[in-house]
Structure 1
């Protein structure tokens, strides 16, 4: 005997055009949040003195790579 489980909630998101549009706006929002996080990190690290950067094991040349998540 076959049974249909109709109580499961789809975890993969919506299908079709509406789902793709929602996924697009979600990805844009995530990209904007990531950009803002990198901007804030870069501004805070740039505001530190060379001595403070040295205390945490960084130099001025490391700031961009660290803010962009490459390190």
Structure 2
């Protein structure tokens, strides 16, 4: 199984560098969208047996990948 590292540097649980204003909001929205996309792609490439090991079914992938956006 492959390992995907999508962690961003943080300081006290907050992003280390946080752009301000409208640009910062755009960056945050884009980062959330990209995290969802990466998660969905990683889970989609797993076999049904590997998903079962994680306690997931193929139909759960969209729900799992959206949890980070809330």
Asked whether the two chains share a fold, i.e. TM above 0.5, the reply is yes
Select the structure that is richer in strand: 2
Paired residue for 1:53? 51
Displacement over 2 Å in runs of 4+: none
Gaps of 5+ in 2: 1-19
Aligned-pair Cα RMSD in Å: 1.2
TM-score (norm. length: structure 2):
0.66
Gaps of 5+ in 1: 1-21
Residues in 2 aligned to 1:27 and 1:60: alpha-carbon distance in whole angstroms: 32
Give the number of the structure with larger relative contact order, counting CA–CA contacts within 8 Å between residues 6 or more apart.
Answer: 2
How many residues are paired up?
A: 49
Answer with 1 or 2: which has the greater Rg: 1
